[in-house]
A = this chain, B = another copy of it.
């Protein structure tokens, strides 16, 4: 892969990334003189020639990239499955990338997609991503991005999300109606749009029901499984234990089940648990798990549909659009009303 980026070239020449990109693509919008300057700089800096230069000119690599922050996660797998199914119908190919929740990986992968390898990108941000230069660069170079689930509000494009605020509000009210007064919220990251919306929904429901909880009831769980397990176990063994846990993502609910078992805390008698989850085995768990289930497959399919629509129209820019699909709260035994 090229070590010199479009951004490097643009900086050297003091022109926009878009100009560099168009010059390299031999666009009619660029003067012969500018094109020559760009080509010369590209040669001198050792900008790697496009492996798929031919396809770039006509947007027909017929390939898109799909970036997810985790692969072994039911939500993302179902979303990939939805996108893949739409891609197969349209004869598109999907490159898949795991960013492992690391901003640096996301930046590096995105940095290498601008050379004609793909016509467009579907992605969900990492929990570390708080800057969007790499994404803006890619879009400026002519490769559109559609976001799903974890989106960048600041970037104008299509964004497929679920009703995170309302779902978290309803989930929290569900716990309150089932007798909970001291609800902890397990958060994944402060920089994630979905995490913030879910927290807001949780706080708004507490507020509506006049429940004043200390800020420490929002517990950041951004580590690995072992670290999260320890943190949740400490929470459950503290002098004042919460009577419910709202897990913002599936893996934190599973850590809660394991930690509760280790701490001798009974679900739902001592602790009620609810979470955002697409776990197929939720009804078979001990006890069965109350979930807010996102339309993951549909979100992936919708993201692909929007992207292909624009690619096929050869429209250069995707209009800003928020597509919000509804999640479903499925009550099960983990939040069952109990006598104590």
A→B interface (CB under 8 Å): 1, 51-52, 54-55, 60-63, 71-72, 74, 77-78, 80-81, 84-85, 88, 91, 93-98, 105, 117, 254, 257-258, 279-281, 283-288
Contacts and interface: CB of A to CB of B under 8 A. Distances in A.
Contacts of A258: 283-284
A63 B71 CA distance: 19
A76 to B, nearest CB: 9
A81 B77 contact: no
A61 B54 contact: no
A94 B93 contact: no
A54 B55 contact: no
A292 to B, nearest CB: 17
A254 B282 CA distance: 11
A73 B138 CA distance: 33
A97 B71 contact: no
Q: Main SS of chain A's interface residues? A: mixed
Contacts of A95: 63, 93-96
A77 B71 contact: yes
Contacts of A97: 84, 88, 93-94
A96 B71 contact: no
A52 B118 CA distance: 12
B72 A77 contact: yes
A91 B95 CA distance: 13
A78 B84 contact: no
A266 to B, nearest CB: 14
A81 B52 CA distance: 26
Contacts of A62: 1, 51
Contacts of A280: 72, 254
25 contacts: A51-B61, A54-B54, A63-B95, A71-B77, A71-B80, A71-B81, A72-B77, A72-B81, A81-B98, A84-B98, A88-B105, A93-B117, A94-B95, A94-B96, A95-B96, A254-B281, A254-B284, A258-B283, A279-B281, A281-B284, A285-B285, A285-B286, A286-B286, A286-B287, A286-B288
Contacts of A257: 284
A181 to B, nearest CB: 27
Closest 4 CB pairs of A and B: A286-B286, A71-B81, A96-B96, A281-B281
A81 B88 CA distance: 21
Contacts of A105: 88
A218 to B, nearest CB: 25
A142 B339 CA distance: 69
